[in-house]
């Protein structure tokens, strides 16, 4: 199975900060990488698919980049509603389309 | 409205069985990849089972031989039959639609609200 490693696993930031979360795959996954946001007690929702495509309705302060094994989720100007846990997930080849461990973004 | 609604969770003793249901509206489960993802308390997301590429199924090693994904197209519903439940199966179980992306990948684009399964004596 392809392993997905996120870093950091948690971070503290202030409203207005620029936040970057990285995700590394154990082998090349081309651009088959998605990012999800999950708030406490809620289901995850997809933010970014195909590494850099913004899901409809997601604010433009979210962006994704990368290909191969290294990927980044960036939030420019963090907003109060962005405090949540973020997961990367690969969809290369066949299941299991594994998730990263998650990165919790907390208020500083 | 496109949505998924899960049901069937609850408290069950170790060794027991439960069947989770996931009723879809606004789209057909027969035309889509559908899966179950779980999240143990305070933990991350874990694939459990998925229908893909027609009727091919995948089950995680941790549930293989105990859990079975199925669907009833007439009811537009996906199921997860869970047998021989263990304490480590305690989690919120989410049903999700796996949608195709422009570049040929797969993303979980519709999620249910989740149903809690607690395995305890």
In tens, the pLDDT along B26-39 reads 999 999 999 999 99
Residue with tokens 């809690």: B116
Task: Give the up-direction half-sphere exposure of residue A71: CA atoms within 13 A in the CB hemisphere.
Answer: 33
Cβ–Cβ below 8 Å for A96 and B60: yes
For A73-86, b where at least 16 C-beta lie within 10 A, e where not — what string?
A: bebeebeeebbbbb
Over residues A52-77, mean pLDDT: 97
Q: Could you list the beta-strand ranges (E) of A1-77.
A: 4-7, 10-13, 19-25, 33-38, 45-49, 53-54, 62-67, 70-75
| Per-residue pLDDT at B89 exceeds 90 | yes
> What is the pLDDT at residue B110?
98
pLDDT interval class at A49 (50, 70, 90): very high
The mean of the pLDDT values for chain A is 97
Over residues A78-101, mean pLDDT: 96
Q: What are phi and psi of B25, to 5 degrees?
A: -140, 150
Residues of chain A with pLDDT > 70: what percent?
A: 100
Nearest to A95 among B50, B111, B113 (CB): B50
* Best CA proximity match to A18, nearest among A65, A63, A86, A76: A76
Residues of B in contact with A47 (CB under 8 A): none
Token pair in block for residue A23: 């995700």
Cβ–Cβ below 8 Å for B112 and A43: yes
Per-residue pLDDT tens digits for B46-84: 999 999 887 899 999 999 999 999 999 999 999 999 999
- Contact (Cβ atoms closer than 8 angstroms) between residue A104 and residue A22: no
Residues of B in contact with A96 (CB under 8 A): 47, 58, 60
| Per-residue pLDDT at A26 exceeds 90 | yes
Residues of A in contact with B104 (CB under 8 A): 32
> What is the pLDDT at residue B55?
87
Cβ–Cβ below 8 Å for B58 and A94: yes
Write the DSSP symbol of residue A9: S
> What is the pLDDT at residue B86?
98
> What is the pLDDT at residue B54?
79
Cβ–Cβ below 8 Å for B105 and A32: yes
Token pair in block for residue B20: 């989770």
The mean of the pLDDT values for chain B is 96
Cα angle, residue A33 at apex, residues A31 and A35 outer, rounded to 5°: 140
| Per-residue pLDDT at A86 exceeds 90 | yes
Most B-contacting residue of A96, A98, A101, A103 (CB-CB within 10 A), to test interface: A96
Over residues B3-12, mean pLDDT: 98
> If contacts are CB pairs under 8 Å, which of residues 7-66 in chain A contact chain B?
30-34, 36, 38, 43-46, 49-50, 53, 55
Most B-contacting residue of A88, A95, A103, A104 (CB-CB within 10 A), to test interface: A95
> What is the pLDDT at residue B53?
85
Residues of chain A with pLDDT > 90: what percent?
A: 96
């Amino acid at each position: 199975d392809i392993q997905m490693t996120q870093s950091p696993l948690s971070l503290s930031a202030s409203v207005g900060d620029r936040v970057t979360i990285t995700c590394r795959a154990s082998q090349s996954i081309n651009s088959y990488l998605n990012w999800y946001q999950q708030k406490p007690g809620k289901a995850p929702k997809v933010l970014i698919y195909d590494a850099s495509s913004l899901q409809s309705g997601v604010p433009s302060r979210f962006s994704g980049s990368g290909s191969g094994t290294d990927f980044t989720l960036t939030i420019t100007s963090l907003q109060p509603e962005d405090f949540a846990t973020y997961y990367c997930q690969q969809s290369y080849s066949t299941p299991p389309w594994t998730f990263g461990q998650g990165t919790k973004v907390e208020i500083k | 409205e496109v949505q998924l609604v899960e049901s069937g969770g609850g408290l069950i003793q170790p060794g027991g069985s439960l069947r989770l249901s996931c009723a879809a509206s606004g789209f057909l489960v027969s035309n889509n990849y559908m899966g179950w993802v779980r999240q143990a308390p305070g933990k991350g997301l874990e694939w459990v089972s998925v229908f893909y590429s027609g009727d091919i199924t995948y089950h995680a090693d941790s549930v293989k031989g105990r859990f079975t994904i199925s669907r009833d197209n007439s009811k537009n519903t996906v199921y997860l039959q869970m047998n021989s439940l263990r304490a480590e199966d305690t989690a919120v179980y989410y049903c999700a639609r796996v949608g195709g992306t422009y570049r040929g990948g797969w993303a979980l684009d519709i999620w249910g609200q989740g149903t809690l399964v607690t395995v305890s004596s």
